[in-house]
Amino acid sequence: RPRMSIIMVNLPEASYGISVRTGLIRGAGHVLPEITETRRVAIVTDDAVGAIYREPLETSLRERGYEPIVVVV
């Protein structure tokens, strides 16, 4: 299984990690239990990226019992 890298984004008001791994879009539902216990997740995207990756990401999450919400910025 490919190794996952976490890129930390440290902002004055909040910090968060961005996960990077080969196949992560289609396998996100399998990877999230390694990261969090919550079943509610947010997909933050824009129109261009969302047109390519939103559907496979949402499908992967829903198939594993997650409840994704999508925020388009």
Q: What is the pLDDT of residue 11?
A: 96
Please identify every stretch of the chain with a pLDDT value under 70, giving residue numbers as ranges.
1
- How much of the chain exceeds pLDDT 90, in percent? 63
State the angle between helix axes of 47-63 and 24-31 in degrees (0 to 180), rounded to the nearest 10.
40
Q: What is the pLDDT of residue 19?
A: 84
Tokens representing 49? 């990226």
Give the C-alpha separation, 10 to 25, whole Å. Answer: 23
